[in-house]
Structure formats: C-alpha cells, structure tokens
Amino acid sequence: MKIKQFTNLLLTFLLATCISCAQTKPKDLLSQLGEIPDVSVKKIAGDTTFAAYYELYFTQDLDHENPKAGTFQQRVLLGHHSFNQPVVVQLEGYKIWSEKAGELSKLLHANQLTIEHRYFKNSMPDSLDWQYLNIKQAAADQHMIIQAIQKIYPEKWLSTGISKGGQTTIFHRYFYPDDVDVSVPYVAPLNLTREDKRIHQHLASIGSKETRNQIYQFQLACFESKEKLLPLAQTYAKEKNFSFSMGLKKALDLSILEYPFAYWQWGGVDSIPGKNANSQELFDHLFKVSSIDFFDVGNIKELLAFYQQALSEIGMYSYETAPFKQYLNDKKDITFDFTFPNEPTRKFDASSMIKINHWLQTDAERMLFIYGEYDTWSATAVNLNGNKKCKKFVNPKGSHRSRIKSFPPEMKKEIVHTLEKWMDVKRTVQNKKALKNSQ
C-alpha cells in the first residue's frame, strides 16, 4: 500500500514538474513576434548568415499625436542570431536597399533590425499627405518598433544608417536618446539651411588644384559643346524611355552642373577628358559620372518623399552657376524646386536642424560619426564643437562609400576599440575577416 502511494506521489510530482517546465520554457522567436500588437510576421529566406530571418509589417499611426488621422503599414526585417547577442538597428532613409547583414552586424555578430522609412516603397500611406512626413513622426515610428522588439532582445542596442539613413539615425537619437546604447551614422550631412552653401566651399578646397581645374574645364567644354551633346542625350533618353519635366535642355544643364558634386561624392572616377576630347568622349564621361537619369520624371517620383523632406526640413544643396551664366537660359539660382513642377515652393523650416546641431554639440553621447574627406556631403558634416562624449572619424581622401573597413589600420583600430568599449563587448569580437568582407 505504501509503495502504491509513493508511486502515485512520484507520478504526481513528475507530472507537475513537466507542466511547470512546459510553462516556463521560452517561446520561440516567431511566437514572440506574433504576439506584438498590430504586427504581421512571416519567416523568409533573407540573408542566410543569420540563423533565421523574418519580414514584419507594423501598423503605424500616420500622426502619432492623433490616431484618428489614419494608419499605414511599415516594413521591417529581422535577422536573428541569438537572444544573447546585441542588436544593430539599420535605419533606412529611403526604402530597404538590402537584406544583407551590414558592416556593424558582421563586426559585432549582432542581430539586425532593418526599418524602412515612412513614405518609401512598401511603407507608403494610401495618400501622400506631406504634413505627416517629418523627422519627428519618422522617429516615433522607429521608437515604437524598437520598443516592441527590445522586449525580446535584452542585450546592447546600436542604431546606424548610411547617408540619409545616417541623418535618420541622428534624428531618431535626438528624439529618443535612450532607445539605443550607441549610434553610428555613416556619411550623414546636417544641413542648416535650405540650400546649404558650405557645399561650394567644400568643392573649392578638396583634392588638388589641378584636379579642381580639370573639373571646371570639363564642365566648360560640355557647355560649349552642348549643341553636339543634345542629340546624344536625346538618343540616350529615348533608349531608356526617360522624360524630363524641365525639358531635355535644362536636364542636360543640370547634369553638367551636378558633375563636380557627383565626381567627389563617389570617388574612383576615370581620368577626366582633356580639352581635345570630342563630343562623344565628353558625353560618355559626363553620363558615367553625372547621368541625366537623375532628373528623369520616374526617378524623381521614386524619391519624391526625399525631396519633400529636403526642401521643407532637412535641407539640400544648390548648384554653382556663376561661372556658367552665359550658357544657362535660367539666370536665377537653380534649386531642386524643379522636383515639384507646377506646385508652390516648399516653405523651409530650419528650426529642427538648428536644435539638433546644438544638441550634438552639448548633450549627445556615444555617437560615432563616419565620413569621407572628399565626399561632397562632408561639406555639411556634423561639427561636434568639442563634445567629447561623441567621436567623429574622417577617412583620408574617402568618398561617400567610406566605411569602417575603408580607414587606415590605426584609425580603424581606434574606431573598433571605441565601439567595443561603448557596447561593452569583449575584444574577441574584433574580427578582421568581418571587416574585410563587410559591406
């Protein structure tokens, strides 16, 4: 009898233990993601360097201060390694360009959360009401997503972005400084006026005097040969099915004016044709560096949300027209208002950029900025003005493609050491192969 009672007690204990184990067993990632309110999720192939990869759509308020304004769906990607690894948040300034692991995700062997920017590609509202496209609303989108995913990943968090994604990283950190532990904006301009004139100062000083003169002479040769270039441009546009709201002639003018910006932005350009170059050689080089594609109606439409932000809040650049006035029909300063033909000029409000600039120089912390010395966008690079809580690194002769892997060995070592210290990770995560193979 006692043996039977003992057996029953033992079975009861084992059953209770099993139930307890089942109740305390951690839920799998897909289940946890599925429990986030107003989110759809599915597992996809993605980057196979991660253990698992997911695509999510968050239902976001168009106006985070007024839920009645409506909602939209925002695309998010999640590359998962482990719950015990840090998370790198890739903040896009446009659409999601790639499903691949970024440089920092590889370096830190981190999980990666990629957030598409509102009003781009798969994260477009049904109606393009521009009043809801501003840096504060976009930062609130990112805050909501990060807060939801942080409940799953308890380790350190780092935000990053490239170019306009770098700007987005700065803006998000300004509004929500405690969302992440560290931020690494790459090649991110901070324009303080609608058409920031520092661009022209930068273009007049970088590189050698000889190269700058070659650029000017090339532009001059293109303008002087414009009547010969126009038929070539027309053929090219017809082949590509391009159209231009400002007309082909002005589009060609803009391509020539854009040339120095594009030349220094991307670097690694072939030698500039000399004064004896024929019209075909001028055309081929111009369209390789500063193609007319940039001004095509379809391309502008795809980037319309960017131009809206640039002309109303985050700033842009203008073209250096003074040396070429005699070749231009439009004698006024040429701005990017041509992206909204037949619409009122956008009113620019510099107050947000001015406030953020002050914050970066005073209160911002654990932000590491990456720039390329020759990159045209470096003209309006962040100026920390003595704020030692952040760091800024400029890649010598670097372009807009500058990444940590691009830097000279000693500078690269200092950057990685800073990240390790701020992220509180062990030296063993420094992986030369990861840096070499990162994108």
Question: Which tens digit of pLDDT belongs to each residue from 373-410?
Answer: 999 999 999 999 999 999 999 999 999 999 999 999 99
Q: Are 84 and 155 in contact (CB under 8 A)?
A: yes
Model confidence over 267-305: pLDDT tens digits?
A: 877 789 988 899 999 999 999 999 999 999 999 999 999
Q: Are 292 and 252 in contact (CB under 8 A)?
A: yes
pLDDT score at 439: 41
pLDDT score at 270: 72
Q: Do β-strands 111-115 and 157-162 pair in parallel, antiparallel, or remain unpaired?
A: unpaired
Model confidence over 211-234: pLDDT tens digits?
A: 999 999 999 999 999 999 999 999
Percent of the chain scored above 70 by pLDDT? Answer: 90
DSSP letter at 378 equals: G
pLDDT score at 22: 44
Residue of 246, 81, 93 whose CA lies nearest to 167: 93
Within 73-184, residue ranges assigned H as helices are: 103-108, 135-150, 164-175
Say yes or no to pLDDT of 430 above 50: no
Q: Are 92 and 431 in contact (CB under 8 A)?
A: no
Please state the separation of Cα 208 from the chain's center in Å: 29
Model confidence over 164-177: pLDDT tens digits?
A: 999 999 999 999 99
Q: 17-31, 83-97, 249-263 — which is least confidently predicted?
A: 17-31
**Mean pLDDT throughout 311-329?**
94
When pLDDT is cut at 50, 70 and 90, the band that residue 432 belongs to is very low
Q: What sign results for the dihedral spanned by CA atoms 426, 432, 434, 436? A: positive
Average pLDDT value over all residues in the chain? 92
Structural domains of the chain sorted by starting position, each given as residue range(s) with its CATH number in brackets: 29-192+351-437 (3.40.50.1820), 198-339 (no CATH)
The residue assigned the tokens 């120089």 is 361
pLDDT score at 333: 74
Q: What is the pTM of this model?
A: 0.91
Spatial separation of the C-alpha atoms in residues 187 and 168, rounded to whole Å: 12
pLDDT score at 367: 98
Say yes or no to pLDDT of 365 above 70: yes
Amino acid letter for position 17? T
Residues contacting 365, CB < 8 A, separation 6+:
177, 389, 390
Spatial separation of the C-alpha atoms in residues 111 and 136, rounded to whole Å: 26
Two tokens at 200? 């022209």
Say yes or no to pLDDT of 9 above 60: no
Write the burial class of residue 397 (CB in 10 Å: 0-12 exposed, 13-18 middle, 19+ buried): middle
Say yes or no to pLDDT of 437 above 50: no
pLDDT score at 10: 52
Spatial separation of the C-alpha atoms in residues 208 and 205, rounded to whole Å: 8
Say yes or no to pLDDT of 307 above 50: yes
pLDDT score at 170: 98
Model confidence over 110-148: pLDDT tens digits?
A: 999 999 999 999 999 998 899 999 999 999 999 999 999
Query: Rg of the chain's alpha carbons, rounded to an integer?
Result: 26
Residue of 179, 172, 136, 122 whose CA lies nearest to 156: 179
Spatial separation of the C-alpha atoms in residues 229 and 284, rounded to whole Å: 10
Write the burial class of residue 210 (CB in 10 Å: 0-12 exposed, 13-18 middle, 19+ buried): exposed
Model confidence over 69-79: pLDDT tens digits?
A: 999 999 999 99
pLDDT score at 429: 44
Percent of the chain scored above 90 by pLDDT? Answer: 86
pLDDT score at 275: 81
Two tokens at 386? 């003595």
Buried b (16+ CB within 10 A) or exposed e, 215-240: beebbebbbebbeebeebbeeebeee
pLDDT score at 284: 96
pLDDT score at 14: 53
Residue of 257, 272, 292 whose CA lies nearest to 376: 257
Spatial separation of the C-alpha atoms in residues 34 and 374, rounded to whole Å: 46
When pLDDT is cut at 50, 70 and 90, the band that residue 193 belongs to is very high
